[in-house]
């Protein structure tokens, strides 16, 4: 192998004596020969016309530095040709002697291109050299054309066999992670090409970003269009790397682009600058923890004025397809810029808000001639007037989004008031059954385009509602949204969900909106949306029909025809007859946005005004929510829980605060359904369910329903079949204890000094996910485990406080009267939870004061010490109580065991005595019967085996069987002899 490499080295890559060449440059008598120096550099470039060797870069950089110094000394004309040759060679890929050169010479490559970048801003550097240097930098940043496209970086889905959508790229011998995940929809984002990623990294390490930005400023000062375009193309290639894009934003890119944006929008510079701004803003926004505030220059007056003028010009004069694409790109860039508060204010001052508003409402509500968009006044049909092409449709949507973003604060909300809100409502009006009040609102766009615009209009109204809810109320947006979401509306699910979101936002933004919307029929509309599109058609059901199979919005485990475990009596308790049970459409997705928004709207309306709870009850909302709680119980745990959480929260806010609604809910079996839900739901839903139970149990009349509940779960459920409600609550408590390791296996406290701080020795694995398994595989294991412990402690406190509330409402003495010994042991800890939590809180406060170097006053210090001491005394007392309980249970078990064995012994004695004294009448045991039967069988078998070869002879003369009396027969039988003779 070495001989081959040597042959390639000697034949393919010529060698240059750089020491002799540098001596020529620095020699005492030859250093004045400037033309010979330039010719020598040109000769070196000609020798390496196929590309510079990687190993020679350190020596080559010395040559180039000498040339730079000569240019700075005023000898640019002599070295122009030499430097052009140098930059031309840098535009070619480097040559390597072997495969290791790429890794060994990375620092040399970075330094070399750093020197190339210097010439862009070097004083007196010829323009031709700068152009060639820009081209070399662009080719290097793009990996000589190997930059991946956007489609190449899209995540690829794996199927169960591990094959990707592009199967030829995956060898069959390496199936990849898809096979391990068994078709669970796993995706993997392919890494960027190695060469492109390496070149971008070297571009950053060489300090090229600030040098190229400085070169852009130099090009702007010179005013050379070709040089500006060349530098912008370099920046564009660098912006495809997220790290370089963020460096460009922080280095003041946008300030340098301001002069370029004032050129004609048909110039290639503007097209490249538009894509450059998009890349940079997107990278800054999507970076972890990054915000647009890190970008410098986005809020400068010069940049915002030039950018706003460019947008207005493209809107007014962009007729070609490429012009319209540029216009839409600029609108997207403007929206991303407006997300930054500083740039938003500057763009409004520069007039972009007025431009966006006139474009957004034109031609539906007309336009002002201040920006030249009024066809009637200037006599010109502008590109955005009446066309419905795909580019103009995108422009309409982007203009709406831009205006909503510019109006996203108190200072800019005036842009949205009046015409914009009226325009959005004009598009929505056809969904209410009314014709469009303004010409062009409903007839200009095609069917699908109009539907998309209507859904976007509703979402934008919901976005603007917190800032201008009074404007929406004055123009009737609430009533319009109710009509859109009503059953008679032709709106689709997307539009109906957007209308419900608008109602939710208006309810939260205005205290009086809940009462007004409730009177307008919002409650009935939300209930209908929650039921489903087919809920108004009653369908007969059998007793074995799955109640949850009719609900859409979640994938359920039960199917029609499965036994639900409910008889007719239980179905009657649900408040409806079997024949009148409501039916919804079949599930289409795992999370239905219409049902999700409807449940959230019910909770918001009932929170806003108590009278809506009465409307809900009269509209049969109690039964509807109860049926959905039952559907949530049967929902598979793998399904997203957004809809389930919304239903439980709506039940909590709509039914529990109202006495009558709560009574109907509990009497119909709602409390039992919530307890059943605790058996099946994910741990994330448990806190809200237990909170709902606690609020219901504030009424003492509901306690009986809790005490009478029995579990129907399997042996692997949270409570096995037949378990009590208190066992379910205490199992939830014990699950949280297991996460923190606060109790031993027998249920006693691990740390009496601080009961709520357990030990890792007694921590039980959590079944809520794979977090514990993952944390043990990470490198920073201690930090991960510490964070997981803190999260478990925080979640446990939330759950424990809820369980304590339920038990305290039921009464600890009442629960101890019938609970099991194990539950009674845990109940003693629950009863003292408040004391333990208070002591822990004061310890944390004391530690916080100690860390900050603060010392509380004497009174506060005494109170803290007394509270901590009281909590510890309570824990020590609890430990003694638990020991006594365990000792009592152990003694009781020992006594019961002794009594049991004593009863067995006495029973055996009685049986023996009975058989001895009344042997003829006593009944044999099964063992004695078996022994007797076997003995009898042995006797019979033995008799036949011993006499099988003998015969029995009886003298006939000794028997008279023909007659005679009994006495005669008896006398005859007496002398009868039986003789056995051998055969």
Of 409-413, 544-548, 583-587, where does the model show the most confidence?
A: 409-413
> SS3 of 355, please?
helix
Confidence label for 407 from pLDDT (cuts 50, 70 and 90): very high
User: For residue 657, is pLDDT > 60?
Assistant: yes
Say which range, 283-287, 542-546, 733-737, 813-817, has the weakest mean pLDDT.
542-546
Of 277-286, 561-570, 734-743, 873-882, where does the model show the most confidence?
A: 277-286
Phi, psi of 736, rounded to the nearest 5 degrees: -70, -35
What would the mean pLDDT of 440-446 be, rounded to a whole number? 67
Which pLDDT score, from 0 to 100, does residue 894 have? 87
Confidence label for 562 from pLDDT (cuts 50, 70 and 90): very low
Nearby residues of 848 by Cβ (< 8 Å), 6 or more positions away: none
What would the mean pLDDT of 139-167 be, rounded to a whole number? 62
What would the mean pLDDT of 884-906 be, rounded to a whole number? 86
**Higher-pLDDT residue of 765, 556:** 765
pLDDT tens digit sequence for 170-211? 334 444 433 333 343 445 555 557 888 899 999 999 999 999
Q: What is the H or E stretch that residue 157 is in?
A: strand 156-157
Please tell me the distance from the alpha carbon of residue 331 to that of residue 396, in angstroms, as a whole number: 10
Please tell me the distance from the alpha carbon of residue 270 to that of residue 498, in angstroms, as a whole number: 37
Contact present, 523 and 605 (Cβ < 8 Å): yes
Please tell me the distance from the alpha carbon of residue 831 to that of residue 798, in angstroms, as a whole number: 16
What would the mean pLDDT of 422-431 be, rounded to a whole number? 91
Q: What is the dihedral of CA 816, 818, 823, 827, to 10 degrees?
A: -20
Which pLDDT score, from 0 to 100, does residue 700 have? 93
Contact present, 641 and 594 (Cβ < 8 Å): no
Which pLDDT score, from 0 to 100, does residue 607 have? 92
434: left (phi over 0), alpha (psi -120 to 50) or beta: beta
Q: What are the structure tokens assigned to 341, written together?
A: 């508060």
**At which residue do the structure tokens 């002899």 appear?**
977
Confidence label for 640 from pLDDT (cuts 50, 70 and 90): confident
pLDDT tens digit sequence for 471-501? 999 999 999 999 999 998 999 999 999 999 9
Q: What CA–CA distances, in Å, run from 369 to 362, 380, 423, 498, 768?
A: 11, 11, 18, 34, 62
User: For residue 591, is pLDDT > 60?
Assistant: yes
Confidence label for 164 from pLDDT (cuts 50, 70 and 90): very low
Confidence label for 867 from pLDDT (cuts 50, 70 and 90): confident
Among residues 232, 308, 307, 336, the alpha carbon closest in space to that of 276 is found at: 232
Confidence label for 759 from pLDDT (cuts 50, 70 and 90): low
User: For residue 980, is pLDDT > 50?
Assistant: no
Confidence label for 977 from pLDDT (cuts 50, 70 and 90): very low
Residue 764 DSSP code: P
**Higher-pLDDT residue of 813, 844:** 813
Contact present, 70 and 28 (Cβ < 8 Å): no
Confidence label for 983 from pLDDT (cuts 50, 70 and 90): very low
Which pLDDT score, from 0 to 100, does residue 560 have? 32
**Higher-pLDDT residue of 314, 912:** 314
The per-residue pLDDT of the chain, averaged, comes to: 78
Please tell me the distance from the alpha carbon of residue 582 to that of residue 619, in angstroms, as a whole number: 13
User: For residue 401, is pLDDT > 90?
Assistant: yes
Which pLDDT score, from 0 to 100, does residue 1 have? 30
What would the mean pLDDT of 904-931 be, rounded to a whole number? 74
pLDDT tens digit sequence for 240-286? 998 999 999 988 899 899 999 999 999 999 999 999 999 999 988 87
Q: What is the dihedral of CA 637, 648, 549, 501, to 10 degrees?
A: -100
Which pLDDT score, from 0 to 100, does residue 361 have? 87
351: left (phi over 0), alpha (psi -120 to 50) or beta: left
Which pLDDT score, from 0 to 100, does residue 654 have? 94
What would the mean pLDDT of 920-938 be, rounded to a whole number? 78
Which pLDDT score, from 0 to 100, does residue 365 have? 73
User: For residue 151, is pLDDT > 90?
Assistant: no
Q: What are the structure tokens assigned to 183, written together?
A: 């078709």
pLDDT tens digit sequence for 659-680? 999 999 999 999 999 999 998 8
Confidence label for 626 from pLDDT (cuts 50, 70 and 90): very high
Say which range, 98-112, 639-653, 840-854, has the weakest mean pLDDT.
840-854
Contact present, 677 and 634 (Cβ < 8 Å): no
What would the mean pLDDT of 914-928 be, rounded to a whole number? 66
Contact present, 179 and 172 (Cβ < 8 Å): no
Among residues 543, 541, 526, 542, the alpha carbon closest in space to that of 582 is found at: 541
Please tell me the distance from the alpha carbon of residue 614 to that of residue 664, in angstroms, as a whole number: 12
User: For residue 377, is pLDDT > 70?
Assistant: no
What would the mean pLDDT of 450-464 be, rounded to a whole number? 94
Which pLDDT score, from 0 to 100, does residue 149 have? 73
Which pLDDT score, from 0 to 100, does residue 950 have? 44
What would the mean pLDDT of 102-120 be, rounded to a whole number? 90
pLDDT tens digit sequence for 524-537? 999 999 987 544 33
User: For residue 793, is pLDDT > 90?
Assistant: no
- Per-residue DSSP letters for 58-113? HHHHHHHHHHHHHHHTT-HHHHHHHHHHHHHHHTSPPB-SSTTHHHHTHHHHHHHH
User: Any bridge partners for residue 952, and if so which?
Assistant: 980
Tell me what percent of the residues of the chain surpass a pLDDT of 90. 36
- Per-residue DSSP letters for 158-178? B-TTS-BSSGGGS-TT---HH
Q: What CA–CA distances, in Å, run from 44 to 61, 70, 437, 628, 938?
A: 12, 17, 77, 81, 118
**Higher-pLDDT residue of 781, 719:** 719
User: For residue 923, is pLDDT > 70?
Assistant: no
Contact present, 641 and 599 (Cβ < 8 Å): no
Sign of the CA dihedral with 804 first, then 810, 812, and 818 last: negative
Confidence label for 293 from pLDDT (cuts 50, 70 and 90): low
Please tell me the distance from the alpha carbon of residue 427 to that of residue 96, in angstroms, as a whole number: 64
Please tell me the distance from the alpha carbon of residue 804 to that of residue 826, in angstroms, as a whole number: 11
User: For residue 553, is pLDDT > 50?
Assistant: no
Which pLDDT score, from 0 to 100, does residue 570 have? 35
Q: What are the structure tokens assigned to 655, written together?
A: 């039914």
Which pLDDT score, from 0 to 100, does residue 442 have? 54
Q: What is the dihedral of CA 552, 553, 555, 557, to 10 degrees?
A: -60
Which pLDDT score, from 0 to 100, does residue 10 have? 41
Among residues 114, 88, 143, the alpha carbon closest in space to that of 203 is found at: 114
User: For residue 957, is pLDDT > 90?
Assistant: no
């Amino acid at each position: 192998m070495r001989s081959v490499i040597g042959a390639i080295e000697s034949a393919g890559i010529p060698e240059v004596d750089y020491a002799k060449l540098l001596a020529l440059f620095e020699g005492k008598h030859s250093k004045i020969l400037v033309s010979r120096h330039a010719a020598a550099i040109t000769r070196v470039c000609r020798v390496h016309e196929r590309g510079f060797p990687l190993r020679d870069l350190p020596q080559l950089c010395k040559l180039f530095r000498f040339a730079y110094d000569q240019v700075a000394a005023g000898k640019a004309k002599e070295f122009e040709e030499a430097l052009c040759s140098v930059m031309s060679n840098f535009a070619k890929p480097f040559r390597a002697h072997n495969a290791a050169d790429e890794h060994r010479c990375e620092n040399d490559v970075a330094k070399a291109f750093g020197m190339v970048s210097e010439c862009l801003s070097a004083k007196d550097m010829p323009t031709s050299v700068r152009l060639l240097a820009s081209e070399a930098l662009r080719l290097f940043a793009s990996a000589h054309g190997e930059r991946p496209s956007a489609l190449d970086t899209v995540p690829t889905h794996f199927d169960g066999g591990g094959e990707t959508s592009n199967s030829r790229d995956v060898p069959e011998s390496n199936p990849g992670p898809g096979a391990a995940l068994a078709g669970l929809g796993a995706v993997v984002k392919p890494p960027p090409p190695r060469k492109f990623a390496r070149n971008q990294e070297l571009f950053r390490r060489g300090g090229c970003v600030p040098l190229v930005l400085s070169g852009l400023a130099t090009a702007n000062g010179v005013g050379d269009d070709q040089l500006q375009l060349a530098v912008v193309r370099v920046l564009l290639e660098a912006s495809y790397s997220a790290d370089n894009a963020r460096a460009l934003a922080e280095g003041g890119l946008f300030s340098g682009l301001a002069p370029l944006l004032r050129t004609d929008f048909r110039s290639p510079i503007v097209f490249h600058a538009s894509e450059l701004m998009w890349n940079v803003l997107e990278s800054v926004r999507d970076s972890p923890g990054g915000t647009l505030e890190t970008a410098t220059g986005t809020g400068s007056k010069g940049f915002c004025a030039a950018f706003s003028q460019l947008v207005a010009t493209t809107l007014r004069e962009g007729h070609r397809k490429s012009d319209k694409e540029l216009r839409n790109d600029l609108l997207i860039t403007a929206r991303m810029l407006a997300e930054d508060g500083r740039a938003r204010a500057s763009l409004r001052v520069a007039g972009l808000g007025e431009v966006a508003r006139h474009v957004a409402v034109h031609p539906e509500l007309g336009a002002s001639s201040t920006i030249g968009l009024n066809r009637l006044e200037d006599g010109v049909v502008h590109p955005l007037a009446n066309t419905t092409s795909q580019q103009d449709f995108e422009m309409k949507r982007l203009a709406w989004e831009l205006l909503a973003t510019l109006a996203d604060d108190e200072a800019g909300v005036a842009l949205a008031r009046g015409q914009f809100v009226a325009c959005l409502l004009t598009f929505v009006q056809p969904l209410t059954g009314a014709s469009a009040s303004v010409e062009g609102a409903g007839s200009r766009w095609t069917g699908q385009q109009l539907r998309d615009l209507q859904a976007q209009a509703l979402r934008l109204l919901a976005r603007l509602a917190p800032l201008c809810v009074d404007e929406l109320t004055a123009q009737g947006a609430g009533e319009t949204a109710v009509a859109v979401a009503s059953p008679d509306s032709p709106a689709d699910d997307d539009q109906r969900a957007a209308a419900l979101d608008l109602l939710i936002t208006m309810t939260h933004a205005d205290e009086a909106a809940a009462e007004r919307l409730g009177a307008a029929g919002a409650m009935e509309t939300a209930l209908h949306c929650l039921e489903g599109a087919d809920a108004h058609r009653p369908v007969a059901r059998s007793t074995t029909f799955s109640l949850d199979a009719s609900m859409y919005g979640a994938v359920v485990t039960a199917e029609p025809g499965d036994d639900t475990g409910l008889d007719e009596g239980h179905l009657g308790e649900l408040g409806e007859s079997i024949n009148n049970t409501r039916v919804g459409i079949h599930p289409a997705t795992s999370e239905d946005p219409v049902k999700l928004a409807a449940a959230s709207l019910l909770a918001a309306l009932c929170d806003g005004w108590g009278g809506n709870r009465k409307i809900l009850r009269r509209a049969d909302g109690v039964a509807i929510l109860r049926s959905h709680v039952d559907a949530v119980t049967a929902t598979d745990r793998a399904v997203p829980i957004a809809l389930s959480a919304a239903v439980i929260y709506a039940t909590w806010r709509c039914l529990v605060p109202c006495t009558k609604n709560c009574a109907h809910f509990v009497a119909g079996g709602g409390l039992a359904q919530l307890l059943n839900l605790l058996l099946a739901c994910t741990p994330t839903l448990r806190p809200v369910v237990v909170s709902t139970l606690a609020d219901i149990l504030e009424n003492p009349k509901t306690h009986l329903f809790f005490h009478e509940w029995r579990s129907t779960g399997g042996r692997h459920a949270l409570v096995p079949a037949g378990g009590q409600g208190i066992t379910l609550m205490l199992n939830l408590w014990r699950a949280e204890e297991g996460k923190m390791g606060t109790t031993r296996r027998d249920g006693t406290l691990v740390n009496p000094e601080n009961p709520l701080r357990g030990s890792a020795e007694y921590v039980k694995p959590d079944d809520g996910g794979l977090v514990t398994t993952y944390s043990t595989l990470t490198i920073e294991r201690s930090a991960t485990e510490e964070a997981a412990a803190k999260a478990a402690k925080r979640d446990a406190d939330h759950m424990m406080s809820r369980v304590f509330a339920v038990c305290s409402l039921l009464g600890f003495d009442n629960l101890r009267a019938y609970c099991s010994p194990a539950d009674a042991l845990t109940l003693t800890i629950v009863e003292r939870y408040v004391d333990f939590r208070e002591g822990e809180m004061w310890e944390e406060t004391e530690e916080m004061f100690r860390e900050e170097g603060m010392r509380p006053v004497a009174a506060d210090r005494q109170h803290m010490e007394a509270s901590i001491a009281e909590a510890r005394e309570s824990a020590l007392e609890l430990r003694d109580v638990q020991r006594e309980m365990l000792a009592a249970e152990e003694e009781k078990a020992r006594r019961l065991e002794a009594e049991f064995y004593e009863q067995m012994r006495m029973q055996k004695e009685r049986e023996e005595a009975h058989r001895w004294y009344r042997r003829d009448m006593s009944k044999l045991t099964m063992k004695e019967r078996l022994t007797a039967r076997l003995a009898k069988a042995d006797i019979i078998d033995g008799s036949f085996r011993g006499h099988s070869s003998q015969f029995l002879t009886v003298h006939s003369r000794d028997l008279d069987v023909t007659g005679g009396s009994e006495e005669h027969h008896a006398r005859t039988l007496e002398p009868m002899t039986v003789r056995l003779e051998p055969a």
